[in-house]
Amino acid sequence: MNKVIVIGIDGSSFDFIESWLKEGLLPNLSKAYNDGSRATLMSIFPTYSSVAWASFSTGMQAGKHGIFGFDIKRPNQYYNKNLISSDELKAEPIWNILERHGKRSIVVNMIPTYPPKKISGAMICGMMSPNNSTFTYPPELTDFVKGMGYKIHNEETNPILEDLILTTQKRAMAVRYLMQTTEWDFIAVLFNAVEVAHHNFFNSQEKLLKIYKALDDEIGKILNAAGKDVNVIYMSDHGHELCEGLFHPNNFLMKHGLLFLKDGGAMKMISRERLVHFSEKLGIKKTLKKVIPVKLEKQFGYSKTPSLYHVDWKKTKAYYTTHGKIYINLKGREPEGIVEPKDYDNVVDYIITELKKLDFVTHAFKRDDIFHGNQLDDAPDIVVMTKKYNFGDWNMNIYPEFTDMDPPLVGKHAVNGIFMAYGPDIKNMDIGEKSILDVSPTILELMGFPVPEDMDGKPIHEIINK
């Protein structure tokens, strides 16, 4: 039985890298593309990294694993700013399944993995791990990786390219160290500098190629450390496409008479950031930034994202939180719900009908159309996906329904990711489209273990040399 390495390249798609792969500009990735199996890897809904990587690791959709975004929503509250953690993952990730079969794993930067759980092998947690925390298993590993300059997080906006490359190099160095000091059968490592680069450098082929070349170099070092008898899977959680502006769903709901503010709510929602936004339109941004202190918000009780705190719930039928998620203010479920259960379907159908009239809305799903399982407490009633427009935050009223990008994150998530597999047990073939849910079942089959019946994904049998 050969070992398996999964190298996650967050946010990558063939739209960007296929020509580079064919030209041999990324030699290690090109080897898998030319001599292994490849597919467009279709992501999950909502198409966000937290949901998608949880779906990869469990082989299940969100209704079973319980992760619907980066934030936590509970039935008895309208919004909770707490971020998800490994405690919210209610399905078994593949490294736990392998442990039950006596196999040891190295897991680096996967999400959601903080706080770290005991593992047969080693773990370095990923996003949402506090910098001052113990974010590894075993715990003593934390001081070591900090000492080598390891960084959990990349600067999301206005990043410096050299910093992204350095983060990639340090992450790969940590993987190689663990390979040398830990017995292992399976490795899963996530590189997310590419994701940050696509968001910020979407229109710069030169910068994108630099970060991909740096990553390819580090992949080569990992493969050299691994030896020959290893099957390698390269995958992403989603792709990227051009983002032209922001869509503010709560404004959409207000426009359609489904969401209302308390009296005076509009004035209370003025924040420094919004005033700066509109000052750009007037050409006075630099002046306004100087005369409006940040402490103004604290002094008058303003908040950067206060909108749901100013909703008149006694009139509101629906509201948006984050990540394309719309909830119905359902009586008996929400704290001040007004929509009767008998009217639920009519309200959902009306919202979806109106959303689909917008030419940039690609999907508007009912909850039951995409989620099933016993972890539906956080599940939204409607999931919206778009092209060209990304989602604004949960603010409303001060913004129009649509705004230009501010800050200019010029790449947005797309559903099409990458899958490439190469190694002694992998055939050379193009397999069209596959689901991110299929990856973990395929790994289990590659390693000779049964696929749990409750997994939603299926093994990609055709790529495996029997």
The pLDDT tens digits for 81-104 are 688 999 999 999 999 999 999 999
- Contacts of residue 254, Cβ cutoff 8 Å, sequence gap at least 6: 260, 261, 396, 397
- Name the band, by pLDDT with cuts 50, 70 and 90, for residue 79: confident
Contact 257, 78 (CB under 8 A): no
Q: What is the pLDDT of residue 291?
A: 44
Q: How far apart are CA 161 and CA 10, in angstroms?
A: 16
Domain finish residue from 386, 404, 422: 404
Looking at the fold, whether 423 and 441 belong to one and the same domain comes out as: yes
Q: How far apart are CA 453 and CA 313, in angstroms?
A: 42
296 falls within a domain: no
Q: How far apart are CA 208 and CA 197, in angstroms?
A: 6
- Name the band, by pLDDT with cuts 50, 70 and 90, for residue 59: very high
286 falls within a domain: no
Contact 105, 6 (CB under 8 A): no
Domain finish residue from 358, 381, 404: 404
CATH number at residue 50: 3.40.720.10
To the nearest whole number, what is the mean pLDDT of the chain? 89
Rounded-to-10 torsion of CA 326, 247, 54, 422: 150
Q: Does pLDDT of 52 surpass 70? A: yes
- Contacts of residue 338, Cβ cutoff 8 Å, sequence gap at least 6: 313, 314, 315, 316, 317, 329, 331
Domain that holds residue 346: 245-269+306-404
SS3 assignment, position 420: strand
Q: How far apart are CA 273 and CA 294, in angstroms?
A: 9
The pLDDT tens digits for 216-234 are 999 999 999 999 899 999 9
Looking at the fold, whether 80 and 189 belong to one and the same domain comes out as: yes
Q: What is the pLDDT of residue 401?
A: 76
Mean pLDDT over 248-273 rounds to 75
Place of tokens 């080569």: 220
Looking at the fold, whether 257 and 318 belong to one and the same domain comes out as: yes
Q: What is the pLDDT of residue 407?
A: 52
Residue 373 falls in which region: left (phi positive, over 0), alpha (psi -120 to 50) or beta: left
The pLDDT tens digits for 119-142 are 999 999 999 999 889 999 999 999
CATH number at residue 331: 3.30.1360
Place of tokens 């600067």: 155
Picking from 76, 49, 53, the residue whose alpha carbon sits closest to that of residue 156 is 49
Looking at the fold, whether 203 and 344 belong to one and the same domain comes out as: no
Place of tokens 């993987």: 175
107 falls within a domain: yes
Angle of CA points 437, 97, 449, to nearest 5°: 80
What tokens were used for 69?
A: 């975004």
Picking from 160, 171, 186, the residue whose alpha carbon sits closest to that of residue 221 is 171
Looking at the fold, whether 191 and 257 belong to one and the same domain comes out as: no
Looking at the fold, whether 179 and 326 belong to one and the same domain comes out as: no
Between the CA of residue 233 and those of 24, 31, 79, 86, 330, what are the distances in Å?
Answer: 18, 12, 37, 24, 43
133 falls within a domain: yes
143 falls within a domain: yes
Q: What is the pLDDT of residue 294?
A: 42
pTM: 0.90
26 falls within a domain: yes
Looking at the fold, whether 170 and 32 belong to one and the same domain comes out as: yes
Q: What is the pLDDT of residue 285?
A: 47
Looking at the fold, whether 62 and 132 belong to one and the same domain comes out as: yes
N- to C-terminal Cα separation, the chain? 12
H/E stretch holding 144 reads helix 141-147
Looking at the fold, whether 330 and 395 belong to one and the same domain comes out as: yes
Looking at the fold, whether 206 and 325 belong to one and the same domain comes out as: no
Looking at the fold, whether 183 and 53 belong to one and the same domain comes out as: yes
Mean pLDDT over 54-59 rounds to 98
Picking from 390, 347, 350, 374, the residue whose alpha carbon sits closest to that of residue 246 is 390
Strand 382-386 with 325-328, pairing = antiparallel
- Name the band, by pLDDT with cuts 50, 70 and 90, for residue 388: confident
Q: Where are the beta strands (DSSP E) in 104-191?
A: 105-108, 121-124, 136-137, 186-191
The pLDDT tens digits for 415-451 are 999 999 999 999 999 999 999 999 999 999 999 999 9
Q: Does pLDDT of 206 surpass 60? A: yes
Mean pLDDT over 179-202 rounds to 95
For residue 348, the tally of other CB atoms under 10 A from its CB is 20
257 falls within a domain: yes
Q: How far apart are CA 296 and CA 462, in angstroms?
A: 62
Q: How far apart are CA 65 and CA 54, in angstroms?
A: 7
428 falls within a domain: yes
Domain finish residue from 359, 379, 404: 404
Looking at the fold, whether 384 and 440 belong to one and the same domain comes out as: no
What's the number of domains the chain is made of? Answer: 2
Q: What is the pLDDT of residue 298?
A: 36
Q: How far apart are CA 258 and CA 250, in angstroms?
A: 9
